[in-house]
Amino acid sequence: MVLLAFSACSYSYALASTIFPLMNATAQPITNSNFLTYVNPNDGFRIQYPSNWEKIEFSQGIVEENRNILVNFISPPENGLDVFREYFIIEKGNFSSHLSMTQYVDRHINTKKTLPNFKLIEWSQILVAGKPAYKIVFTYSNPEVGTTKTMEILADRVDKIYVLSFNADVEKYSNYSLVIDRMVKSFD
């Protein structure tokens, strides 16, 4: 089950690298005027994302861990030597009524523990669009890029679970905190 989640991250990154080869570009400072709104009427959500990030929609969806990957937002390369483009994925799955949200989060964390050198950094309850959600932050060894730091937001909506996942090189993770905070706060 975890191997599928890891492969989804690797697959999305590999797909993004193939479709959007590294260019000689620099990251732009984020301001209020350079965000776009992505609306997904089929799955009932909207989110703001930086206008200079690539957007890849998965109309048919890729199923991993019983969730469909709906959209992936990929940061621009920081320079011609940037080998890892940070990305933010939104997934949707069915939420089983026989589990509480806390039990679901516990199971989710347990599946992540099989990632190489997994280290749980944070696990907390937060509000997303005024509704309770869970935030999980962890690191693991990624054979392609070194240590990856991931933040996942798990939010249940009626009988669905949404997973908002930001993945970054551990050394660059904090550089994206304002951008990711805005994206998460705009998810509705």
Which CATH number is 105's domain given?
A: 3.40.1000.10
- Tell me 39's DSSP state: E
Residue 104 φ then ψ, to 5°: -60, -45
Whether the pLDDT of residue 119 is over 90: the answer is yes
Residues 128-179 pLDDT 10s: 989 999 999 999 999 888 999 999 999 988 788 999 999 999 999 999 999 9
The alpha carbon torsion through 19, 147, 2, 180 (nearest 10 deg) reads -60
Domain count, the chain: 1
* Distance separating alpha carbons of residues 35 and 83, to the nearest angstrom: 24
DSSP E strand boundaries for 17-145 = 35-40, 45-50, 54-64, 67-74, 87-94, 119-128, 131-142
CB atoms within 10 A of CB 3: 12
Give residue 67's pLDDT.
Answer: 81
Q: What is the pTM of this model?
A: 0.80
Q: Rounded mean pLDDT of the chain?
A: 82
Domain range spanning residue 85?
2-186
CB 104, CB 82: distance < 8 Å: no
